[in-house]
Chains A and B, each alone.
Chain A
Amino acid sequence: SAVISQKPSRDICQRGTSLTIQCQVDSQVTMMFWYRQQPGQSLTLIATANQGSEATYESGFVIDKFPISRPNLTFSTLTVSNMSPEDSSIYLCSVEGTGSYEQYFGPGTRLTVT
């Protein structure tokens, strides 16, 4: 199993600012995933990040709002841009396990936008 760390673990940000979340994996992986977990809602996939190519975004998410970097096989960042209170959520990165679609998640970043 992969060990995943995220920074920061939590943050409180002002409306209109941006926050970059870092995700580090202890092994090389092809794909990394970014999810959003809003209160009372299911986990929603934001995008899939492959090293060496642009991230693939799910419906409802755009690169201008959630730019993603994937500079190498163990690291990725997600930026939440021009934040509003609606962006308050837990943001999780994950990698795929050995089984089909099985996910190993990081501990998450709890973001509050005021």
Chain B
Amino acid sequence: TQLLEQSPQFLSIQEGENLTVYCNSSSVFSSLQWYRQEPGEGPVLLVTVVTGGEVKKLKRLTFQFGDARKDSSLHITAAQPGDTGLYLCAGVGGADGLTFGKGTHLIIQP
């Protein structure tokens, strides 16, 4: 069974600060997805990274896939209250298909 560990589990910061959350595994994935889930809603896909070392930017969000395709990070610059939510990573690969991490609960305080 492939496992994805996300850290930190909870993060509360002030508006305007920068932050990084991590998604780590001992398994290799063919691709990795990041979702954001707001209260009362389902997860929404933000990005998919496919190539080891790949970096993708989505406005103030920067996603990186590790060179060995075992880990990923999400960096948010100048966080805003609208960034508040549960950030989930999900790895694709092997017999397990799609494997989700437990998520990072992010709160951006105005």
Contacts and interface: CB of A to CB of B under 8 A. Distances in A.
Task: Tell whether A and B belong to one assembly.
Answer: yes
Q: Which of A4, A43, A100, A106 has the most CB of B within 10 A?
A: A43
A5 to B, nearest CB: 11
B43 A105 contact: yes
Contact of A103 (B45, B99, B103): B45
Interface of A: 4, 9, 40-45, 92, 94, 97, 99-108, 110
Q: Which of B41, B90, B98, B101 has the most CB of A within 10 A?
A: B98
B42 A4 contact: yes
A42 B4 contact: yes
A43 B100 contact: yes
22 contacts: A4-B42, A9-B40, A40-B102, A42-B4, A42-B88, A42-B99, A42-B100, A42-B101, A42-B103, A43-B43, A43-B88, A99-B48, A101-B90, A101-B92, A101-B97, A101-B98, A103-B45, A104-B45, A106-B42, A107-B42, A108-B41, A108-B42
Chain B interface bracket (under 10, 10 to 19, 20 to 34, 35 or more):
20 to 34
Majority secondary structure, B binding face = strand
Contacts of A42: 4, 88, 99-103
Contacts of B31: 100-101
A110 B30 CA distance: 32
Nearest to A92: B42
A43 B99 CA distance: 8
Given A42-B4, A43-B43, A106-B42, 8 more contacts: A42-B103, A43-B90, A94-B42, A100-B30, A101-B31, A103-B90, A107-B42, A108-B41
A76 to B, nearest CB: 15
B33 interface: yes
Given A43-B88, A100-B31, A101-B92, A107 B102 contact: no
A100 B50 CA distance: 10
Contact of B40 (A4, A100, A103, A107): A107
